[in-house]
A and B are shown apart, each in its own frame.
Chain A
Amino acid sequence: MTATLENAPAKGETVLRLRGVSKNFGAVSALTDIELEVKAGEVVALVGDNGAGKSTLVKVLAGVHQPSAGTIEFCGRQVTLDSPAKALDLGIATVFQDLALCENLDVVANLFLGHELSPWALDEVAMEVRAWTLLRELAARIPSVREPIASLSGGQRQTVAIARSLLLDPRLIMLDEPTAALGVAQTAEVLNLIERVRDRGLGVIIISHNMEDVRAVADRIVVLRLGKNNGVFTPDSSNQELVSAITGATDNSVSRRAERKSGHAQESHGGAA
């Protein structure tokens, strides 16, 4: 079994394009005229403060919410995502923040949940082989695929969740806060995993509050603020620029705190000299 997909778009080709997507919940407009483009083999980070509309956007793309206006183009065709199953069928996979794994089932059962091979006489051997192959491609360190999920660490669970989203050969994968609950080593593993997924030619959307992680893997950083686009940045743009785009002001609590800190540092430095 090879990692590359026959029907995968060539690297650099646009996988997903949103034009003027809006979403209203009653009188509240959660998203207004969102423009977003994701290419194959590209990691796009979606950042923004709480309530900026990141999760709403992910839910729109996962088929959970329907947009109020705007068009979604997937692999060059305009599509309507009216159910989670439709999004999955098209090749949009989502790794939710709470992972949504069944702790009482083993790794193989979780990977194939809802998509088991030969439903009337489960083909455990084929599923186990496929599970090992997939986990090996992701260089995942899972000791045994026949242990229940309950015995795995947070990073290993994240790996299983990501592997599961890859099982159906998606073209776009969305990760909601993949490193939020993880330790230093596990975070690094998940970031490596994201890079490997990108190298397989998939488009990746990652949501994170952690600027360090975002800078480490993202090719582009898209900032949302109050449900609107608020700039696209490259990973080497300064923290100052990013934070002011996220918070919407050059004079914000983050920059004030940074100033105060550096002021303190200089004072104490001067005192010693």
Chain B
Amino acid sequence: MSQNPSQPMLDRSDERVRHDDSLAAMAKGFIDRVRSGDLGMLPVAVGLVVISIVFSALNPVFLAPNNLVNLLFDCATVGVISLGIVCVLVLGEIDLSVGSMSGLSSAMVGVLWVNMGLPVAVGILAALVAGAAVGLLYAALYNRLGMPSFVATLAGLLALLGLQLYILGPTGSINLPYASVLVRFGQILIMPDWLSYVLALLPGLAMVGRGLRTRSQRLAANLSAQPMRALILKAVVLTAVLEAAMFYLNLGRGLPWMFALFVALAVLLNYALTRTQWGRSMFAVGGNKEAARRSGINVRRIYTSAFVLCSTLAALGGVLSAARLASSSQQAGTGDVNLNAIAAAVIGGTSLFGGRGSAYSALLGIIVIQAISNGLTLLNLSSSLRYMITGGVLAIAVIVDSLARRSRVSHGRA
């Protein structure tokens, strides 16, 4: 190791800081972080364990491989919408119209493709462009007129729903052809077993690869580096969990391509949020808008990018849900779609107060939300009870977020 005892590492010269290097010390550091309100993925892990125990006790089908495959199909549609919600939540804003936007986009695909006979790609593209246009409109209302996003998107919720009903016309429902690639993608297309096993290796390999590169760069620059043991341990645990999950899913139908698309989008968004200047600016604007403005960030452009991204992803989610249901109907995007998308992001650890969040919170949060929804469906509960329970879960998620935030403030973690 290139550590020179006479010249301490740049970031190890202050004796006031405790450095958690050994595995035991890292565990202690993790507990400290959780106690100070930096919950990370803990609520998701706890939630999944509780949900699995409760629902599999009530109905053993819940944990059957094929039920989980169905669960992943459902996750992909709302999950993509939730990715967009993460973007606006990081800024401390909200988009309440994502459900209506997804409904409108599913209606557009149905009308343009099935009713008017245009190629399906045109329908999808038109839906995405409509999503981007709606996002631009919200951004203009926010930036130019100072309209709170809460109100603008609440108005959008109604207006877009109206537009959806208008273009669907009196029939109200359009069936999409079952044999088409789009519907097969949403209902049937499954990754070959071998490919799912190979893909499940990638996160661990990427973790080790990037970890080793960062480590050598940091040591070369005389900075401390994460110990090798911890890196390898994390990668091994992650790979083991993913491979076990793939094995279990492959006992049933296997890993849906649609879910793989969702994961790919989440990975892409995570890179953009954590490793690019745009992402850094997003968190800066969410943390302190005025400070971001004074450091030369074009704040308006950041808001525009977030609103456009959110609405476009909502439109994509709408296309996926049309594929999943093989229909464009008046019910698409109504009901609990909005709240599920928002709750997923919040449960996964994205703060409603801005400045904190991650793309993976949508990925993990939506699994929790859909697991609850799926479990309740298996129990044959009426929708009245399901709404009440889902509402309660959302309330709990927000309460956890508020309490964690209060704790972070008192522990100096913002």
Q: Which residues of A contact B (CB under 8 A)?
A: 84-85, 88, 96, 99-105, 109, 113-116, 119-122, 124-126, 128-129, 132-133, 136, 141-146, 148-152, 164
Contact = CB atoms under 8 A, between A and B. Distances in A.
A113 B17 CA distance: 25
A102 B288 contact: yes
B412 interface: yes
A99 B217 CA distance: 32
A114 B295 contact: yes
Interface string B2-24: 00000000110010110000000
A148 B413 contact: yes
Nearest to A117: B277
A114 B281 contact: yes
B53 interface: no
Interface in B219-251: 221-223
Interface residues of B, number: 36
15 contacts: A96-B294, A100-B290, A103-B287, A109-B283, A113-B291, A115-B295, A115-B296, A122-B277, A124-B214, A128-B10, A128-B221, A128-B223, A142-B14, A143-B16, A148-B414
A237 to B, nearest CB: 35
Given A103-B414, A113-B291, A143-B14, A129 B223 contact: yes
B301 interface: no
B295 A149 contact: no
Given A84-B294, A129-B10, A129-B223, A102 B283 contact: yes
Contact of B295 (A113, A143, A152): A113
A104 B414 contact: yes
Given A102-B292, A122-B277, A113 B284 contact: yes
A154 to B, nearest CB: 12
B280 interface: yes
A85 B296 contact: yes
A119 B281 CA distance: 11
Contacts of B413: 148, 150-151
B175 interface: no
B47 interface: no
B284 A102 contact: yes
Nearest to B218: A125
Given A122-B275, A129-B221, A104 B355 contact: yes
B276 interface: yes
Contacts of B222: 129
B209 to A, nearest CB: 14
B41 interface: no
B409 interface: yes
B412 A151 contact: yes
B297 interface: yes
Given A114-B296, A129-B223, A144-B11, A109 B284 contact: yes
B287 A102 contact: yes
Contacts of B286: 104
Given A113-B281, A113-B284, 7 more contacts: A102-B292, A104-B283, A105-B284, A113-B291, A113-B295, A116-B277, A142-B14
A225 B114 CA distance: 76
A105 B287 contact: yes
A115 B292 CA distance: 11
Nearest to A135: B10
A150 B407 CA distance: 12
Contacts of B295: 100, 113-115, 164
Contacts of B223: 125, 128-129, 132
The 10 closest A-B pairs by CB, nearest first: A150-B414, A119-B277, A104-B287, A151-B412, A100-B291, A104-B355, A102-B287, A114-B296, A114-B295, A103-B414
Interface in B290-338: 290-292, 294-297
Contacts of A150: 408-409, 412-414
Interface string B267-287: 000000001111011011011
Nearest to B223: A128
Interface in B33-55: none
B253 interface: no
B14 A103 contact: no
A100 B288 contact: yes
A105 B274 CA distance: 12
Residue among B277, B281, B412 having the largest count of chain A Cβ atoms under 10 Å: B277
Nearest to A128: B223
A147 B265 CA distance: 29
Contacts of A96: 294
A164 B296 CA distance: 13
A6 to B, nearest CB: 23
Contacts of B297: 113-114
A96 B288 CA distance: 14
Interface string B95-128: 0000000000000000000000000000000000
B268 to A, nearest CB: 13
Interface centre among B276, B284, B295, B355, by most chain A C-beta atoms within 10 angstroms, is B295
B276 A102 contact: no
Contacts of B11: 128, 132, 144-146
Nearest to A151: B412
A136 B14 CA distance: 11
A129 B10 CA distance: 8
